[in-house]
Chain A
Amino acid sequence: MTRSVLRGLRAVALTGTLVLAAGAAFAADPIKLGVLEDQSGDFAAATIGKVHAIQLATEEINKAGGIAGRPIELVTYDTQSDNTRYQEFMRRVLQRDKVDVVFAGFSSASREAYRPIVDQFNGFAFYNNQYEGGVCDGHMIVTGAVPEQQFSTLIPYMMEKYGKNVYTLAADYNFGQISAEWVRKIVKENGGKMAGEEFIPLGVSQFSQSIQNIQKAKPDFVVTLLVGTAQASYYEQAASANVNLPMASSVNVGQGYEHKRFKPPSLKDMYVTTNYIEEIDSPTSKAFFAKFKAKFPSEPYVNQEAENSYLAVYLYKQMVERAKSTKREDIRKVIAAGDVCMDAPEGKVCIDPKSQHMSHTIYLAKVGADHSISFPKVWEDIKPYWLGDVGCDLTKKDPMAQYTPSNPPPKP
């Protein structure tokens, strides 16, 4: 008897577990969140924290019962600071892994590399990074800060404090070029003039000649829009050549924590507008920082983009729960209501329905001679108004394009 009966029993038991497993999977079918961030290569220093922030938020949400009862499952790939990797992995997460949403990208070059793929496969992506602004695309939600939040605050402040002669030193790719255009525009609007501009190819690490060009132009302050770890060598080299000019930036400190990496006083008098850095002394910021350090004790720095990534997971949770769906069309209907807001570590943030960008509290961080951070000024609730003002309205029309001050949306 035994053998056949046993076999029968085993079959019954197996089917039973299968049925049970299937039932359980159905009740808590996970929501798949793709994570494409640079965990190696030139940008890794600024972006590993983004992955950790997403892991932290996911763990918290899953512990508290997931999104509408469904756990979040992360599908993470290392994009290696390489634009072609972004394209490969974006296709992979959308086509093979069939994720519900993708959190992707640090450099603007990588975003523009993957964005057409998101559009093509009708995907849904979050870009959790400050950038040069102007992306009017219904497939994208941007939680990072944009020029009207970072430059419209920073540049007039610097011009009033130090003078109207401005020099821009920027990374030579779409982010640096378009950001420099913004600086030029704001300097002109405020009655100043550009003492000079230089664009540095990514990966350049030697700045002697650029330093001399700056000294020759005699600006009142330098706007540094340098990206990547190689270009960060500028500060050390400028300090050792005693350039001694105040600096203003939308990317430094808040992303690459240069004030922690370089020996003081090389970043003395650097002013940065950022929506988060770990030094912000508010209860919500401190609580977030403590949670982060508890999970990742060896994290070198909790930067702006880590906070953007963290709050993005919670925003997504809120939108899915309100839409009762993970479909992009349903979620955009929720966004169109105009009240998708949350209390983030930086303060209250809301998604603007016209541009699908986010309002921010902007902190002006000043680096002291000993590389300590002080906050001379805080602007609360700065809206991402530029795209809406020039005519981008995603609730009506989705052009899937990027606009700049010199290339605004066509007039209807």
Chain B
Amino acid sequence: MDIATLAFSALYQFGDAFAFLVLSACGLAVIFGMMGVINLAHGEFIMCGAYVTASTAHVGLPLPLAILSGAIVAALVGALVELVVIRHLYDRPLDTIVATWGLSLIATQGTLIMVGSTMAGVGTPFGSFQVGAYSYSIYRLVLFASALGVLGGLYALFNWTRFGVLARATIQVPHMAAALGVDTRLIYSLTFACGAGLAGLAGGLYAPTMTLVPTMGATFIMEAFVTVVIGGADVFLGTAPAGAVLAVVKSGLTSWQGQLFGQIGLLVAVIIVVRILPKGISGFLLRERT
């Protein structure tokens, strides 16, 4: 086996792990990393996106539009959840854990009762390609590109738009932002909905590759929290490098010793990073810059 094949396979596996970590974590990075709401219902926003994507695709909507509709519905649900529950708990972070955990139980069981124990898949588009002895799924490259796109989009949103500036201002010093005439309630709502929508987008993007069941959100949760905890508060400077570091750890260990070690590696990486960099990678990067 030649070097180029090996290098490509390592890169592909890295990209695949990176995409999964980043896409699972982006929504949570906004809701937990930025806003500080420990959202245990994150997986259920992902499930919501996946279910909407699959149902609309079954009806005949083209897959990209179906994924988009999944993200939009998840964002709307997020806005509603913020309005009804989360809004009243911003200064009670521990209570949000209980509230969002309850929401996640209701969402999982409600889906099971209303939609049934499984939903038919939609099939992965695009087929495969061959490099050396291995064949790869093209859709996995699409996922990698989507992860990069989402990161770029988030960077632009929070740094270059008026909404992004207001959102950061509101979350850093809410009273000052309010005194300057910002409708902080609206900004909180929109930011939460944005996080929920990103979770829905992740669900929609992974829907064609996975089994669709009410509990599917749980398979994203560990990766999402690990990435956000390692990344720290900044959505772009945290999630992107955390995703990269963890993807190297995960794909390296998995190819060397199998999935179990990949999972162990992720958790050990969290323990080490939290011990050395309590504010995550973004805390470290930002402190160095100032």
Contact = CB atoms under 8 A, between A and B. Distances in A.
Given A172-B260, A208-B16, A203 B135 contact: no
Interface stretch (B108-116, B150-158, B162-170, B281-289): B108-116
Contact of B137 (A204, A229, A241): A241
B250 to A, nearest CB: 9
Contact of A236 (B20, B121, B127): B121
Contacts of A243: 135
A240 B209 contact: yes
| Residue of B109, B139, B213, B260 with highest tally of chain A CB at under 10 A | B213
Interface stretch (A258-266, A343-351, A361-369): A258-266
B124 interface: yes
A389 to B, nearest CB: 33
A233 interface: yes
A42 B215 contact: yes
Given A201-B260, A212-B13, A45 B118 contact: yes
Given A44-B112, A229-B215, A232-B211, A209 B263 contact: no
Interface of B: 9, 12-13, 16-17, 20, 108-109, 112, 116-124, 126-128, 130, 133-140, 208-216, 218-219, 251, 254-255, 258-260, 262-263
Contacts of B254: 209-210
Contacts, number: 136
A213 interface: yes
Given A208-B16, A232-B211, A261-B118, A239 B260 contact: no
B120 A260 contact: yes
Nearest to A261: B118
7 contacts: A206-B16, A206-B17, A208-B12, A208-B17, A212-B13, A240-B140, A261-B119
A233 B122 CA distance: 12
Contacts of A40: 108-109, 112, 214
A199 B215 contact: no
Contact of A209 (B120, B121, B212, B259): B259
A212 B134 contact: yes
Interface string A205-249: 110111011011000000000000110110011011111100000
A206 B211 contact: no
A229 B213 CA distance: 7
A229 B216 contact: yes
Contact of B255 (A48, A209, A233, A242): A209
Nearest to A46: B117
Contact of B128 (A200, A240, A261, A266): A240
A282 B42 CA distance: 47
A229 B118 contact: yes
A237 to B, nearest CB: 6
Interface string A264-305: 001000000000000000000000000000000010100000
Nearest to B221: A203
Which of A172, A198, A201, A209 is most buried by chain B, counting CB atoms within 10 A of its CB?
A209
A8 interface: no
A242 B135 contact: yes
Given A233-B211, A241-B128, A201 B135 contact: no
A41 interface: yes
Contacts of A237: 124, 137, 209
Contacts of A205: 210-211, 216, 219
B5 to A, nearest CB: 11
B219 A201 contact: no
